[in-house]
């Protein structure tokens, strides 16, 4: 699902929202989440999951073309951990889809 798909879904579910309002709402939420992560905060959405910032320590890598060693600096990267409800919902839905695919067709 892309950002524009999310906007379309929001506008379809809430008829009182115009497409522009739905787009603004999605942009506002994503910007607020990005700003919180940039400030080092953790975001927790109950039933969905949590976003945090992980630290990757500096390391020595290799340039695949030349084989020479390259110093890779420390990085801070966003990390998502799904919540229990989301994990269970995805597991149940994929199990249903898998069972439907394995079900033999009757003539």
Q: Looking at 45-49, 53-57, 96-100, which range is the least confident one?
A: 96-100
Tokens linked to 36: 């919180």
Same domain, 31 and 53: no
Q: What is the pLDDT of residues 78-102, one digit of tens each?
A: 999 999 999 999 999 888 887 776 5
Tokens linked to 93: 């839905």
73: domain range? 42-107
Average pLDDT over residues 29-40: 96
Average pLDDT over residues 25-40: 96
Same domain, 86 and 51: yes
| Average pLDDT over all residues of the chain | 92
Same domain, 53 and 24: no
Tokens linked to 76: 């801070």
Q: What is the band of 53 on the pLDDT scale with cuts at 50, 70, 90?
A: very high
Same domain, 37 and 80: no
Same domain, 96 and 83: yes
Question: CA 88, 91, 95: angle at the middle one, nearest 5?
Answer: 140
φ and ψ at residue 28, rounded to 5 degrees:
-65, -45
Same domain, 51 and 85: yes
Same domain, 27 and 57: no
């Amino acid at each position: 699902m892309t950002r524009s798909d999310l906007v379309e879904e929001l506008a379809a579910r809430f008829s009182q929202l115009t497409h522009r309002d739905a787009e603004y709402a999605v942009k506002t939420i994503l910007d607020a989440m990005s700003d919180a992560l940039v400030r080092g905060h953790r975001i927790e959405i109950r039933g969905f999951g949590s976003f945090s910032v992980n630290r990757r320590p500096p390391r020595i890598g290799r340039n695949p073309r030349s084989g020479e060693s390259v110093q890779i600096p420390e990085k801070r990267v966003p990390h998502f951990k799904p919540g229990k409800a989301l994990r269970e919902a995805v597991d149940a839905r994929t199990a249903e889809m898998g069972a439907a695919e394995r079900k033999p067709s009757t003539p």
